[in-house]
Amino acid sequence: MEREGDDHISADQERRLFDRILKYTGVFGSVQGVTMMVTLVINMVKSRLLGPVGYGITESLNRSADLVKSSTNLGIATLAVPEISRHVNDADPDGLADKVRLTRSWALLTALLGMVACLILAPFLSRWAFDGDSGYTVSFMVLSLAVAAAAVTGGETAVLKGAGMLRQIALSQLFSGLLSLVISVPLYWLFRFDGIVPALALTGIGSMFVTCSYSFRRFRYKVCPFSWSHLRQGTGMIGFGIFFTVTAFFSAWAWSFIAKFLTAEGGGHLTGTYSAGYMLVSYLTTLLLAVTDSEYYPRLSAAGGDLKDAHRLMDSQATAMCMLAGPVVILFMLCMPVVVFVVLDYSKFQESVMLAQMAVIGLYFKSVSQPVAYLVLARSDSRIYLLQETVCYLLLVACVMAGYRLAGVVGLGLAFAVWELMYLLLSLLISRFRYGYRMSSGLLRLFVVQGVLVATGAFCVFKQALIWLLPGAVACVVSVGLSVRFFGTHTTFFSSLLRKTARK
């Protein structure tokens, strides 16, 4: 996109950039689509065998385990990416190999730290997550294996991302999803509630082995976890990692607090209703924005030193994501009752429908905020990152509590949408004053137009009457038309598709 005050990029450069974004969005979106279908099958089985209470237990276990993961992994999975990506094009291959070894060494140490912390804190985590009930102590001790596996997986994923191994990232995500299906469904089927913890632990360990199988092919596994002369080369990354850990702790604490708050307000049924509804939104978010984390973030990290180049990348990524998110969000809202009917037990999860329909509005705001917010990470700006993310999760807790008490389950959905809007504004404010970034006029115009259509779709869905489906469908068609026109003008995707069709 052209920006006022910057050197304009050529039309061909812009087209190639949008082509790249669309290509990898399709690649990672397809993989996440298959993974999502696998996960939906798992949740179909879980919803019918365990019901909302089973979802509530799983949510509490996951969030509490995430608290330990986030507090001990030092953000290796994210912070090592720019460290590795900056050495990919170096003439000296030893520099890249050394960064990979350094990443793996720190990842192994954080895995051991996380496992020990989870074992020691298991009684406390059980009482925290389940209102003073220490009966889940052994469950958290078993989950210490999953905590350790997640740290190793994070380090290997950082290696894949930093080295630009996009195909391997996609395949590892795909096969990890398939493996989770093979592991989880039999355990839920045979053991019902007793299968929850083994499923969580074995799925985490299985994902670790899948990811390692791809990264080990490119880089042999070498670590020096007890050599300080080697480890101290990563003190800059780990210094930022301390800030990252603090913010990750706030994140995990916020989600854990929300699960605990909902359990106290409405028991396991309310927690399960919230978990099921937000699960559907999170899957769609992963489906649409997987490319931002896997392809865009390493690219932005490589350009982080050149703010003009970084601003162009941010604008292009945010524009493409905005134009993709608009029609997807509206279609998701309109089809949500059908999705819940197919995926979950509708009679038990009916309340999850409206929650998900309102919460998914936040995905539209996130499609722009995420490309913008990643600049802080790409530039390793630790104090600003701490400020941005701490405020973010304090706002999340406040929005959820206020939303539920003002409007019940529907308010929970709206709370997430409002929270994502606040985060977008916060990210834009920080990027403006810290890095001189401003949304281009083209991005702003498209964001407002698609935003109006998303708001129209949300209003029609909120009315909960069949007569309002027609204007909602019209908003969806218009949104799709605008996106098709945009990508037809700014990419070669449709022209290439027509040429291939004509040859056939």
Residue 105 and residue 223 in contact, taking contact as beta carbons nearer than 8 Å: yes
CA–CA distance, 70 with 154 (Å, rounded to integer)? 11
Kindly tell me the sign of the dihedral angle through the C-alpha atoms of 197, 200, 203, 205. Answer: negative
CA triple 368-250-237, angle to 5 deg:
80
331-354, pLDDT tens digit by residue? 989 988 777 766 666 666 777 788
pLDDT confidence of residue 1:
46
pLDDT confidence of residue 382:
79
Per domain, the residue ranges of the chain are: 11-494
Give the per-residue SS3 of 58-112: HHHHHHHHHHHHHHHCCCHHHHHHHHHHCCCCCCCHHHHHHHHHHHHHHHHHHHH
Helix, strand, coil percentages (3-state) for the chain, rounded to 5, are: 90, 0, 10
CA–CA distance, 3 with 13 (Å, rounded to integer)? 14
Question: What is the pTM assigned to this prediction?
Answer: 0.76
Long-range contacts from 32-35, C-beta under 8 angstroms, 24+ separation: 32/173, 32/286, 32/287, 32/290, 33/287, 34/174, 34/177, 35/173, 35/174, 35/176, 35/177, 35/286
Q: Collect the ranges in the chain with pLDDT lower than 70.
A: 1-11, 29, 89-93, 268, 291, 304-305, 341-348, 465, 493-504
- Tokens 């705001």 sit on residue: 365
pLDDT confidence of residue 499:
64
CA neighbor of 284 nearest in space, from 460, 29, 27, 20: 29
pLDDT confidence of residue 469:
81
pLDDT confidence of residue 304:
58
CA–CA distance, 297 with 376 (Å, rounded to integer)? 11
Distance of CA 67 to the CA centre of its chain: 16
Reported residue count of the chain is: 504
Q: Which residues of 172-191 are buried (b: 16+ CB within 10 A; e: fewer)?
A: bbbbbbebbbebbbebbeee
